[in-house]
Every structure is written in C-alpha cells, then in structure tokens.
Amino acid sequence: MISNTPIKMQVVIHDNEVDENTLEQATIRLMNELREIDGTEVERVLELSESLTKGDNFTVGLLLLATLPTTLPAVVNLLQYWTGDRRKISVETANGVKVEFIPSKLYSEKEVLSLIESLSGGDSSQINAG
C-alpha cells in the first residue's frame, strides 16, 4: 500500500558534455518544470563554503525534491524525458532507495509502478535503469 507521506529525495543531473553554466541553466529549468507538478516541492541545494562571503552559492545540478506518492508517476515521466540523448539523472531518497535514469532505458508501465512502490514504501533496494 502506498502511503500519503511526502517522499524526500535528492535529484542530480549529470552531463559531462556541457560546461557548468549550461548545466546550471538545465538545473533551473528542471526545477521549474518539477514545480509545475501539483504536490511537489523543489529547492536548490546550497553549497557551504568558507570562502562564501555574500550571496548564495548553489551546487550545480543538485535539487532537493519532496513529492506525494500520487505525483510520482508524473515525476518519473519528467525525469525520464529529461535524460534526453546523453544526460543521466540520479535520484536518492532519504531512506536510501537509489534510481538512475539514463537515455538508453525507459521504464515500462510495470516498472514505473514497481518504482513508485519502492520509492514510497521504504524498500531500500537499488533500482538501476540500465
């Protein structure tokens, strides 16, 4: 049974073929698209630095996401779409479930349902889409 408790996770975009500025812009676009999904909250991760004197310094490619289990299908579909033809997106929940979305593997409907159950049910196994 899927609970109604928000699922907290880190979402990381990996793309070795672009510079830091391009990855930063992609991170902001993904954050904005995730925020359009009802029941989902997204925020940037601040990078703590001793040399930080003023302003916010964000970790490029890293977001914190909290979503309701009922919105997970929309989140999974968006993250699959976001891999494009070269990006990898890593997700790790607070309870240790890890998922990687890669361009060469799209989840089937059955796999999405299994993934949702794992992410929301506390299963600490690792799911690799590759």
pLDDT (tens digit per residue) in 46-104:
654 444 444 444 567 889 999 988 888 899 889 999 998 889 999 988 888 888 999 88
Distances (CA, A) of 114 to 2, 23, 29, 51, 120: 11, 30, 28, 44, 10
Q: What is the model's pLDDT at position 7?
A: 87
For residues 2 and 8, what is the distance between their CA atoms, to the nearest angstrom?
Answer: 15
Q: What is the model's pLDDT at position 36?
A: 95
Domain boundaries, the chain: 7-48+56-128
Element (H, E) at 74: helix 72-82
Q: What is the mean pLDDT of the chain?
A: 79
For residues 24 and 19, what is the distance between their CA atoms, to the nearest angstrom?
Answer: 9
- b (16+ CB within 10 A) / e for 41-53: ebeebeeeeeeee
Q: What is the model's pLDDT at position 2?
A: 55
Tokens describing residue 72: 């997970």
With bands split at pLDDT 50, 70 and 90, how would you rate the model's confidence at 121? low
Q: When comparing pLDDT for 127 and 14, which is higher?
A: 14
Q: Can you name the CATH fold of 7-48+56-128? A: Alpha-Beta Plaits (3.30.70)
For residues 86 and 33, what is the distance between their CA atoms, to the nearest angstrom?
Answer: 19
